Structure 1
Amino acid sequence: MSNLIDLITARRSWSKVTDTSPSRDELVRLVAAAGRVADHSGLAPWRLIELRGAARARLGNAIAEAAGDDKPSSKPLRAPLLIALVVSPQPSIKVPVWEQEATASGVAHLLSLLLSDEGWGVMWRTGGQVRSPEVHRMHNLEQHEYLLGWLYVGGRDDARTKRPAAPVDAARFLTSLGDDNESTGRDTRND
Protein backbone atom coordinates (compact mmCIF):
# COMPACT_ATOMS: atom_id res chain seq x y z
CA MET A 1 0.00 0.00 0.00
CA SER A 2 1.25 3.44 -0.89
CA ASN A 3 1.80 6.38 1.36
CA LEU A 4 -1.57 8.19 1.34
CA ILE A 5 -0.29 11.60 0.24
CA ASP A 6 1.74 10.00 -2.56
CA LEU A 7 -1.31 8.01 -3.68
CA ILE A 8 -3.51 11.10 -3.79
CA THR A 9 -0.87 13.22 -5.51
CA ALA A 10 -0.33 10.54 -8.16
CA ARG A 11 -4.05 10.05 -8.90
CA ARG A 12 -4.92 10.17 -12.58
CA SER A 13 -8.02 9.50 -14.63
CA TRP A 14 -7.55 6.64 -17.10
CA SER A 15 -9.72 7.26 -20.17
CA LYS A 16 -8.49 4.07 -21.85
CA VAL A 17 -8.27 0.78 -20.00
CA THR A 18 -7.74 -2.88 -20.83
CA ASP A 19 -10.36 -5.63 -20.62
CA THR A 20 -9.38 -6.87 -17.17
CA SER A 21 -11.21 -5.73 -14.05
CA PRO A 22 -11.35 -6.46 -10.34
CA SER A 23 -13.36 -9.47 -9.21
CA ARG A 24 -16.49 -9.06 -7.17
CA ASP A 25 -14.61 -10.20 -4.05
CA GLU A 26 -11.90 -7.59 -4.63
CA LEU A 27 -14.55 -4.94 -5.18
CA VAL A 28 -16.46 -5.85 -2.01
CA ARG A 29 -13.27 -5.43 0.04
CA LEU A 30 -12.62 -1.98 -1.44
CA VAL A 31 -16.23 -0.84 -1.05
CA ALA A 32 -16.07 -1.81 2.65
CA ALA A 33 -13.09 0.52 3.05
CA ALA A 34 -14.62 3.35 0.99
CA GLY A 35 -17.76 3.12 3.11
CA ARG A 36 -15.76 4.50 6.05
CA VAL A 37 -16.24 8.02 4.64
CA ALA A 38 -17.57 10.75 6.97
CA ASP A 39 -21.31 10.17 7.29
CA HIS A 40 -23.30 12.51 9.56
CA SER A 41 -25.73 10.41 11.64
CA GLY A 42 -24.52 7.21 9.93
CA LEU A 43 -27.28 7.40 7.30
CA ALA A 44 -25.34 5.57 4.55
CA PRO A 45 -27.12 7.62 1.83
CA TRP A 46 -25.41 5.83 -1.03
CA ARG A 47 -25.17 2.58 -2.89
CA LEU A 48 -23.20 1.23 -5.82
CA ILE A 49 -24.28 -0.90 -8.77
CA GLU A 50 -21.88 -3.11 -10.76
CA LEU A 51 -22.39 -3.12 -14.51
CA ARG A 52 -20.49 -5.83 -16.38
CA GLY A 53 -21.08 -7.62 -19.67
CA ALA A 54 -24.53 -7.12 -21.17
CA ALA A 55 -25.53 -4.61 -18.47
CA ARG A 56 -23.17 -2.12 -20.14
CA ALA A 57 -24.97 -2.60 -23.47
CA ARG A 58 -28.33 -2.06 -21.75
CA LEU A 59 -26.96 1.22 -20.39
CA GLY A 60 -25.89 2.16 -23.93
CA ASN A 61 -29.47 1.55 -25.09
CA ALA A 62 -30.90 3.64 -22.23
CA ILE A 63 -28.52 6.53 -22.98
CA ALA A 64 -29.50 6.41 -26.66
CA GLU A 65 -33.20 6.32 -25.82
CA ALA A 66 -32.80 9.32 -23.48
CA ALA A 67 -30.89 11.25 -26.16
CA GLY A 68 -33.36 10.32 -28.91
CA ASP A 69 -30.65 8.45 -30.83
CA ASP A 70 -31.35 5.40 -33.01
CA LYS A 71 -27.97 3.81 -32.34
CA PRO A 72 -26.97 2.60 -28.84
CA SER A 73 -24.23 4.57 -27.14
CA SER A 74 -20.91 2.73 -27.16
CA LYS A 75 -19.57 4.77 -24.24
CA PRO A 76 -20.44 2.18 -21.56
CA LEU A 77 -18.35 -0.35 -23.48
CA ARG A 78 -15.14 1.63 -22.88
CA ALA A 79 -14.37 -0.34 -19.71
CA PRO A 80 -15.14 -3.89 -18.59
CA LEU A 81 -16.60 -2.67 -15.28
CA LEU A 82 -18.78 0.34 -14.59
CA ILE A 83 -19.78 1.18 -11.05
CA ALA A 84 -22.91 3.30 -10.87
CA LEU A 85 -22.68 5.88 -8.08
CA VAL A 86 -26.11 6.24 -6.50
CA VAL A 87 -27.24 8.86 -4.01
CA SER A 88 -29.94 7.31 -1.87
CA PRO A 89 -31.06 10.13 0.48
CA GLN A 90 -32.46 9.03 3.82
CA PRO A 91 -35.10 10.90 5.82
CA SER A 92 -33.39 13.16 8.34
CA ILE A 93 -34.19 16.35 10.16
CA LYS A 94 -30.50 16.97 10.92
CA VAL A 95 -28.80 16.02 7.65
CA PRO A 96 -29.89 17.86 4.49
CA VAL A 97 -29.83 16.09 1.13
CA TRP A 98 -26.83 18.13 -0.09
CA GLU A 99 -24.77 16.76 2.82
CA GLN A 100 -25.92 13.23 2.05
CA GLU A 101 -24.86 13.74 -1.57
CA ALA A 102 -21.46 14.87 -0.31
CA THR A 103 -21.17 11.58 1.60
CA ALA A 104 -22.02 9.59 -1.54
CA SER A 105 -19.46 11.62 -3.51
CA GLY A 106 -16.89 10.90 -0.82
CA VAL A 107 -17.50 7.16 -1.11
CA ALA A 108 -17.08 7.39 -4.89
CA HIS A 109 -13.83 9.31 -4.63
CA LEU A 110 -12.38 7.05 -1.94
CA LEU A 111 -13.31 4.02 -4.02
CA SER A 112 -11.57 5.51 -7.06
CA LEU A 113 -8.41 6.08 -4.97
CA LEU A 114 -8.53 2.56 -3.57
CA LEU A 115 -8.98 1.06 -7.04
CA SER A 116 -6.09 3.14 -8.30
CA ASP A 117 -3.90 2.01 -5.40
CA GLU A 118 -4.68 -1.61 -6.33
CA GLY A 119 -3.38 -0.93 -9.85
CA TRP A 120 -6.66 -0.40 -11.73
CA GLY A 121 -7.34 2.36 -14.22
CA VAL A 122 -10.32 4.46 -13.13
CA MET A 123 -12.26 7.38 -14.56
CA TRP A 124 -15.35 9.04 -13.10
CA ARG A 125 -17.72 9.77 -15.98
CA THR A 126 -21.05 11.51 -16.18
CA GLY A 127 -22.84 12.76 -19.28
CA GLY A 128 -25.96 14.58 -20.38
CA GLN A 129 -28.24 11.60 -19.75
CA VAL A 130 -27.03 10.64 -16.25
CA ARG A 131 -30.26 11.94 -14.64
CA SER A 132 -32.65 10.99 -17.44
CA PRO A 133 -35.75 8.88 -16.67
CA GLU A 134 -34.53 6.18 -19.08
CA VAL A 135 -31.16 5.78 -17.34
CA HIS A 136 -32.87 5.97 -13.93
CA ARG A 137 -35.21 3.13 -14.95
CA MET A 138 -32.39 1.02 -16.41
CA HIS A 139 -30.59 1.09 -13.04
CA ASN A 140 -33.80 0.14 -11.17
CA LEU A 141 -33.42 3.20 -8.94
CA GLU A 142 -36.00 4.08 -6.34
CA GLN A 143 -37.96 7.28 -6.99
CA HIS A 144 -35.91 9.30 -4.46
CA GLU A 145 -32.52 8.05 -5.74
CA TYR A 146 -30.31 9.57 -8.43
CA LEU A 147 -26.96 8.96 -10.10
CA LEU A 148 -23.72 10.89 -9.71
CA GLY A 149 -22.24 9.04 -12.68
CA TRP A 150 -20.12 5.91 -13.07
CA LEU A 151 -16.62 4.82 -12.27
CA TYR A 152 -15.20 3.21 -15.40
CA VAL A 153 -12.72 0.58 -14.24
CA GLY A 154 -10.28 -1.64 -16.10
CA GLY A 155 -6.67 -2.69 -16.36
CA ARG A 156 -3.96 -0.09 -16.82
CA ASP A 157 -1.70 -0.31 -19.80
CA ASP A 158 1.48 0.68 -18.00
CA ALA A 159 3.24 0.95 -21.36
CA ARG A 160 1.21 4.11 -21.85
CA THR A 161 2.99 6.66 -19.76
CA LYS A 162 0.80 9.29 -18.26
CA ARG A 163 2.07 12.84 -18.16
CA PRO A 164 2.43 14.01 -14.59
CA ALA A 165 -0.40 16.32 -13.59
CA ALA A 166 0.46 19.92 -12.88
CA PRO A 167 0.88 20.48 -9.16
CA VAL A 168 -1.99 22.15 -7.35
CA ASP A 169 -1.28 25.73 -6.25
CA ALA A 170 -2.61 25.14 -2.75
CA ALA A 171 -2.02 28.75 -1.61
CA ARG A 172 -4.53 29.87 -4.25
CA PHE A 173 -7.27 27.68 -2.76
CA LEU A 174 -6.46 27.90 0.97
CA THR A 175 -7.57 31.11 2.65
CA SER A 176 -8.01 32.17 6.25
CA LEU A 177 -10.54 34.26 8.14
CA GLY A 178 -8.25 34.58 11.16
CA ASP A 179 -5.62 37.21 11.91
CA ASP A 180 -2.01 36.81 10.81
CA ASN A 181 -1.04 34.94 14.00
CA GLU A 182 -3.82 32.38 13.55
CA SER A 183 -2.97 31.74 9.91
CA THR A 184 0.61 30.84 10.85
CA GLY A 185 -0.60 28.18 13.25
CA ARG A 186 0.83 29.99 16.28
CA ASP A 187 -1.22 29.44 19.43
CA THR A 188 -2.41 32.92 20.46
CA ARG A 189 -4.86 31.92 23.19
CA ASN A 190 -2.53 33.04 26.01
CA ASP A 191 -1.25 36.25 24.35
Structure 2
Amino acid sequence: MTELVESTVLAAVAGRRSWSKVTDAAPTQDELLQIVGAAGRVADHSSLRPWRIITLRGDDRVKLGRALAKAEGDSKPSTKPMRAPLVLAVVVSVKKSKVPAWEQEATAAGVAHMVSLLLDDAGWGVFWRTGSATRAKAVRKAHGLKKGEELLGWLYVGGKPANARAGRRKVVNAKAHLSAMP
Protein backbone atom coordinates (compact mmCIF):
# COMPACT_ATOMS: atom_id res chain seq x y z
CA MET A 1 0.00 0.00 0.00
CA THR A 2 1.38 3.40 -0.92
CA GLU A 3 0.98 6.54 1.15
CA LEU A 4 -0.94 9.40 -0.39
CA VAL A 5 1.46 12.23 -1.10
CA GLU A 6 -0.15 15.53 -0.18
CA SER A 7 -0.86 17.34 -3.42
CA THR A 8 -1.50 21.03 -3.81
CA VAL A 9 -5.17 20.24 -4.47
CA LEU A 10 -5.43 18.13 -1.33
CA ALA A 11 -3.73 20.87 0.70
CA ALA A 12 -6.07 23.53 -0.72
CA VAL A 13 -9.16 21.48 0.07
CA ALA A 14 -7.93 20.49 3.54
CA GLY A 15 -7.13 24.13 4.35
CA ARG A 16 -10.42 25.62 3.16
CA ARG A 17 -12.57 27.54 5.59
CA SER A 18 -15.54 29.90 5.44
CA TRP A 19 -14.78 33.62 5.83
CA SER A 20 -17.86 35.28 7.34
CA LYS A 21 -16.01 38.63 7.42
CA VAL A 22 -14.19 39.87 4.36
CA THR A 23 -12.59 43.09 3.16
CA ASP A 24 -13.79 45.31 0.31
CA ALA A 25 -11.40 43.77 -2.21
CA ALA A 26 -12.95 41.42 -4.77
CA PRO A 27 -11.88 39.36 -7.77
CA THR A 28 -12.11 40.93 -11.21
CA GLN A 29 -14.44 39.71 -13.94
CA ASP A 30 -11.45 38.14 -15.73
CA GLU A 31 -10.47 36.24 -12.57
CA LEU A 32 -14.05 35.02 -12.19
CA LEU A 33 -14.16 33.86 -15.81
CA GLN A 34 -11.05 31.74 -15.26
CA ILE A 35 -12.39 30.28 -11.99
CA VAL A 36 -15.89 29.57 -13.32
CA GLY A 37 -14.41 27.99 -16.45
CA ALA A 38 -12.36 25.61 -14.33
CA ALA A 39 -15.23 24.92 -11.92
CA GLY A 40 -17.43 23.88 -14.83
CA ARG A 41 -15.32 20.73 -15.14
CA VAL A 42 -17.22 19.01 -12.30
CA ALA A 43 -18.95 15.72 -13.00
CA ASP A 44 -21.90 16.51 -15.27
CA HIS A 45 -23.97 13.61 -16.63
CA SER A 46 -24.60 14.22 -20.36
CA SER A 47 -22.64 17.52 -20.16
CA LEU A 48 -25.85 19.49 -19.64
CA ARG A 49 -24.20 22.41 -17.83
CA PRO A 50 -27.39 22.83 -15.74
CA TRP A 51 -26.20 25.88 -13.87
CA ARG A 52 -25.33 29.53 -14.11
CA ILE A 53 -23.83 32.11 -11.80
CA ILE A 54 -25.08 35.68 -11.42
CA THR A 55 -22.64 38.34 -10.20
CA LEU A 56 -23.94 41.00 -7.81
CA ARG A 57 -21.77 44.02 -7.10
CA GLY A 58 -22.58 47.55 -5.93
CA ASP A 59 -26.29 48.39 -6.10
CA ASP A 60 -27.17 44.84 -7.18
CA ARG A 61 -26.59 43.89 -3.54
CA VAL A 62 -29.04 46.61 -2.44
CA LYS A 63 -31.62 45.16 -4.84
CA LEU A 64 -31.05 41.74 -3.30
CA GLY A 65 -31.42 43.27 0.19
CA ARG A 66 -34.82 44.67 -0.79
CA ALA A 67 -35.91 41.29 -2.20
CA LEU A 68 -34.78 39.49 0.96
CA ALA A 69 -36.73 41.98 3.10
CA LYS A 70 -39.86 41.44 1.00
CA ALA A 71 -39.44 37.66 1.25
CA GLU A 72 -39.05 37.88 5.03
CA GLY A 73 -41.87 40.41 5.54
CA ASP A 74 -39.49 43.17 6.64
CA SER A 75 -40.05 46.82 5.79
CA LYS A 76 -36.39 47.80 5.58
CA PRO A 77 -33.88 46.16 3.24
CA SER A 78 -31.65 43.41 4.55
CA THR A 79 -28.02 44.42 4.96
CA LYS A 80 -26.77 40.83 4.59
CA PRO A 81 -25.75 41.25 0.92
CA MET A 82 -23.59 44.23 1.91
CA ARG A 83 -21.30 41.98 3.97
CA ALA A 84 -19.15 41.29 0.89
CA PRO A 85 -18.23 43.38 -2.16
CA LEU A 86 -19.13 40.51 -4.48
CA VAL A 87 -22.04 38.11 -4.17
CA LEU A 88 -22.32 35.19 -6.57
CA ALA A 89 -25.83 33.76 -6.93
CA VAL A 90 -25.65 30.07 -7.85
CA VAL A 91 -28.56 28.93 -10.00
CA VAL A 92 -29.52 25.44 -11.11
CA SER A 93 -31.07 25.51 -14.58
CA VAL A 94 -32.76 22.15 -14.92
CA LYS A 95 -32.76 20.92 -18.52
CA LYS A 96 -35.25 18.51 -20.08
CA SER A 97 -33.23 15.32 -20.19
CA LYS A 98 -32.98 11.71 -19.13
CA VAL A 99 -30.81 13.09 -16.31
CA PRO A 100 -33.06 13.60 -13.26
CA ALA A 101 -33.44 17.06 -11.73
CA TRP A 102 -31.76 15.98 -8.46
CA GLU A 103 -28.64 15.00 -10.39
CA GLN A 104 -28.61 18.34 -12.20
CA GLU A 105 -28.92 20.12 -8.83
CA ALA A 106 -25.98 18.06 -7.56
CA THR A 107 -23.91 19.26 -10.52
CA ALA A 108 -24.82 22.90 -9.82
CA ALA A 109 -23.95 22.45 -6.13
CA GLY A 110 -20.66 20.87 -7.21
CA VAL A 111 -19.89 23.92 -9.34
CA ALA A 112 -20.69 26.22 -6.40
CA HIS A 113 -18.39 24.30 -4.11
CA MET A 114 -15.64 24.17 -6.71
CA VAL A 115 -15.92 27.94 -7.26
CA SER A 116 -15.66 28.38 -3.48
CA LEU A 117 -12.53 26.20 -3.32
CA LEU A 118 -10.88 27.91 -6.27
CA LEU A 119 -11.60 31.37 -4.87
CA ASP A 120 -10.20 30.35 -1.49
CA ASP A 121 -7.10 28.91 -3.12
CA ALA A 122 -6.66 32.16 -5.09
CA GLY A 123 -6.58 34.08 -1.80
CA TRP A 124 -10.20 35.26 -1.56
CA GLY A 125 -12.47 34.85 1.44
CA VAL A 126 -15.72 33.02 0.66
CA PHE A 127 -18.87 32.24 2.62
CA TRP A 128 -21.74 30.17 1.15
CA ARG A 129 -25.13 31.50 2.36
CA THR A 130 -28.41 29.63 1.87
CA GLY A 131 -31.81 29.68 3.54
CA SER A 132 -35.52 29.68 2.89
CA ALA A 133 -35.35 33.00 1.01
CA THR A 134 -33.57 31.27 -1.87
CA ARG A 135 -36.95 29.92 -3.01
CA ALA A 136 -39.00 33.06 -2.27
CA LYS A 137 -40.89 34.70 -5.15
CA ALA A 138 -39.39 38.17 -4.56
CA VAL A 139 -35.86 36.75 -4.56
CA ARG A 140 -36.51 34.68 -7.69
CA LYS A 141 -37.81 37.79 -9.43
CA ALA A 142 -34.84 39.93 -8.36
CA HIS A 143 -32.47 37.37 -9.91
CA GLY A 144 -34.51 37.06 -13.10
CA LEU A 145 -34.94 33.31 -12.69
CA LYS A 146 -36.78 31.48 -15.43
CA LYS A 147 -39.03 28.43 -15.37
CA GLY A 148 -36.96 25.41 -14.38
CA GLU A 149 -34.43 27.49 -12.43
CA GLU A 150 -33.87 27.55 -8.70
CA LEU A 151 -31.45 29.54 -6.59
CA LEU A 152 -29.12 27.32 -4.56
CA GLY A 153 -27.61 30.14 -2.53
CA TRP A 154 -24.99 32.86 -2.65
CA LEU A 155 -21.24 32.88 -2.38
CA TYR A 156 -20.17 36.02 -0.52
CA VAL A 157 -16.69 36.91 -1.75
CA GLY A 158 -14.10 39.44 -0.61
CA GLY A 159 -10.56 39.84 0.63
CA LYS A 160 -9.28 37.79 3.52
CA PRO A 161 -8.69 40.13 6.48
CA ALA A 162 -5.02 40.34 7.46
CA ASN A 163 -5.78 40.19 11.18
CA ALA A 164 -8.20 37.25 10.98
CA ARG A 165 -7.42 34.11 12.91
CA ALA A 166 -6.29 31.18 10.86
CA GLY A 167 -8.87 28.93 12.50
CA ARG A 168 -9.92 25.86 10.60
CA ARG A 169 -12.67 23.33 10.90
CA LYS A 170 -11.83 20.18 12.76
CA VAL A 171 -10.52 17.35 10.63
CA VAL A 172 -13.31 15.00 9.62
CA ASN A 173 -13.19 11.53 11.14
CA ALA A 174 -13.13 9.76 7.77
CA LYS A 175 -13.64 6.33 9.39
CA ALA A 176 -17.07 7.48 10.56
CA HIS A 177 -18.09 8.34 6.99
CA LEU A 178 -16.42 5.67 4.88
CA SER A 179 -17.63 2.08 4.81
CA ALA A 180 -17.77 -0.95 2.56
CA MET A 181 -20.92 -2.27 0.94
CA PRO A 182 -22.78 -4.44 3.49
TM range (shorter): over 0.9
- Partner in structure 1 of residue 112 of structure 2: 108
Residue pair 2:16, 2:168 contacting (<8 A) in 1 also: no
Asked whether 1:44 is paired with 2:53, we answer no
Q: Within 5 Å, which residues of 2 pair with 1:34-183?
A: 34-93=39-98, 95-177=99-181
Cα distance in structure 2, aligned partners of 1:164 and 1:43: 35
In terms of mean alpha carbon deviation, does 30-39 or 157-166 score higher?
157-166
- Partner in structure 1 of residue 17 of structure 2: 12
Alignment deviations for residues 19-41 of structure 1 (CA, whole Å, 9 cap, x no partner): 01000011001000000111000
Cα distance in structure 1, aligned partners of 2:175 and 2:144: 44
Deviation at 1:163, TM superposition (A): 1.6
Gapped regions of structure 1 (runs ≥ 5): 179-191
Cα distance in structure 2, aligned partners of 1:149 and 1:50: 12
Cα distance in structure 2, aligned partners of 1:140 and 1:165: 35
Q: Secondary structure at the match of 1:84?
A: strand
- Partner in structure 2 of residue 27 of structure 1: 32
Cα distance in structure 2, aligned partners of 1:76 and 1:17: 12
Cα distance in structure 2, aligned partners of 1:121 and 1:66: 27
Deviation at 1:159, TM superposition (A): 1.7
Residue identity opposite 2:104 in structure 1: Q
Answer with 1 or 2: which has the greater Rg.
1
Residue identity opposite 2:65 in structure 1: G
Residue identity opposite 2:24 in structure 1: D
Deviation at 1:127, TM superposition (A): 2.2
Gapped regions of structure 2 (runs ≥ 5): 1-6
